[in-house]
Amino acid sequence: MRHLIDITDLSVNEIAELIRTSNDIIGNRKAYSEVCRGRKLATLFFEPSTRTRLSFEAAMLELGGAVLGFSSADSSSATKGESVIDTVRTVACYADVIAMRHPKEGAPLLASLKSPVPVINAGDGGHSHPTQTLTDLLTIQREKGRLDNMTVALCGDLKFGRTVHSLIAAMSCYENIKFILISPEELKIPDYIREDMKKRRNIEWRETDKLEEGLAKADILYMTRVQRERFFNEADYMRLKDSFILDTEKMRYAKPDTIIMHPLPRVNEISVKVDDDPRACYFKQVENGKFIRMALIMRLLEVSK
């Protein structure tokens, strides 16, 4: 039995296989509509979500399976003080696979240590978000035709941005990747990410606080939201929330084939006017998220078409 807790739980070959399956699903959806008949996915979301939870549920439904779960900690026994481990042991009696989002870092890992069914990390606090990364990789592969030889600029909250942490870990496995890390001083990437990048000889990176500088050289610009829910201090959030705003004016610095990505939700870090630019890919990411999660569920349940 496998879990997906961190993106590095998957090898490059396994990621390539998931992308292949996703592309096959996109071109041949009917062939997959019954593969999970009789199987159940539990979505345990202790923290709010629109895309991740609904895409997991839509993915399982499109595979012919069923879904159950809760969408906030308030509607579970967590409010009565039930532990994560007891919750997972209970839900595993009713479901074949669990997708868990939790505000505490490491909660899905802890759950996986005691769960008799596969656990998928659907986001743990500001730590990691491997299924968003799978979504991002599928999008990059489909839009750019490759996952190597690329300059990736990541902008915004790189400290608590779990999608950023997982994406850097994943992209670091490919050849000739350069990262441009754009953030205010207070929201720079955590030390452990920097430590991991240092270990890899194929990775170059530099840190800056200028969006225009990164945008001019990027093949991919990955924007992120400054997340109010990660701050203990509201004043710090208010000071940093508008650090970077991508608008049509700044888009003039981007190359014609640069793609703009964002894990969403956004607040105001990307102007809605940018949505009409053909380089904006964030709604394609949303759609791809369902297909890669279908491929992942199939893999963890060990089913094929």
Partner 1 sequence: MNVDGINSGIVLDHIKAGKSMEIYNYLNLDELDCCVAIIKNVKSTKLGRKDIIKIDAEINLDLDILGYIDPNITVNVISDGVLVEKKKLKLPKEVKNVIKCKNPRCISLAERETDQIFRLTSPEEGIYRCIYCDSESK
Which strands form 203-208's sheet, in the order they lie side by side? 203-208, 177-182, 150-155, 220-223, 259-261
In the complex, least distance from residue 265 CB atom to partner 1, rounded to whole angstroms: 20
Q: Which is nearer to partner 1, 125 or 289 (CB)?
A: 125
Instruction: Kindly indicate which of the ranges 28-36, 143-151, 186-194, 290-298 contains the residues binding partner 1, using the contact rule CB under 8 A.
Output: 186-194
37 labelled catalytic:
no
29 is a catalytic site residue: no
- Show the binding pattern over residues 111-150: x = contacts partner 1 (CB under 8 A), - = does not: -------------xxxx-----------------------
**Smallest distance from the beta carbon of 126 to partner 1, in angstroms?**
7
Q: Which is nearer to partner 1, 58 or 109 (CB)?
A: 109
Question: Does 52 participate in catalysis according to the annotation?
Answer: yes
CB contact burial 22-49 (16+ within 10 A = b; e otherwise): bbebbeeeeebeebbeebbbbbbbbbeb
Q: Of 129, 178, 262, 299, which one is the catalytic site residue?
A: 129
Whichever of 105 and 207 has its CB closer to partner 1, that residue is 105
Would you say 133 or 139 has its CB closer to partner 1?
133
What does the alpha-carbon distance between residue 224 and residue 208 come to, in Å, rounded to a whole number?
15
Classified as helix, coil or strand, 221 is strand
Catalytic, 210? Answer no
Q: How far is the CB of 120 from partner 1 (least distance, A)?
A: 16
Residues 232-291 within binding reach of partner 1 (CB under 8 A): 232
Task: Quote the CA–CA distance of 298 and 18 in Å, as a whole number.
Answer: 9
Kindly identify the residues of this chain, within the stretch 57-116, that bind partner 1 according to CB under 8 A: 83-85, 102-107, 109-110
Distance in angstroms (rounded) separating the CA atoms of residues 160 and 226: 8
How many residues bind partner 1, per CB under 8 A?
20
Interaction mask 3-42, partner 1, x per CB under 8 A: ----------------------------------------
102: three-class secondary structure by DSSP: strand
Q: For residue 269, what are the CA distances in angstroms to 93, 199, 211, 235, 258?
A: 42, 32, 11, 18, 17
CB of 192 to partner 1, least distance (A): 4
Q: Is the Cβ of residue 104 or residue 206 nearer to partner 1 in the bound state?
A: 104
Choose the catalytic residue: 3, 21, 43, 52.
52
- Residue 151: active-site member: no
Contact (CB, 8 A) for 183 and 159:
yes
Cα torsion angle, 43, 46, 50, 52, sign:
negative
Is residue 176 a contact partner of residue 205, using CB atoms and an 8 Å limit? Answer: no
SS3 91: helix
Q: At what angle do helices 130-144 and 162-171 cross, to 10 degrees?
A: 60
Active-site positions read 51-52, 80, 101, 129
List residues binding partner 1 (CB under 8 A). Answer: 83-85, 102-107, 109-110, 124-127, 190-192, 195, 232
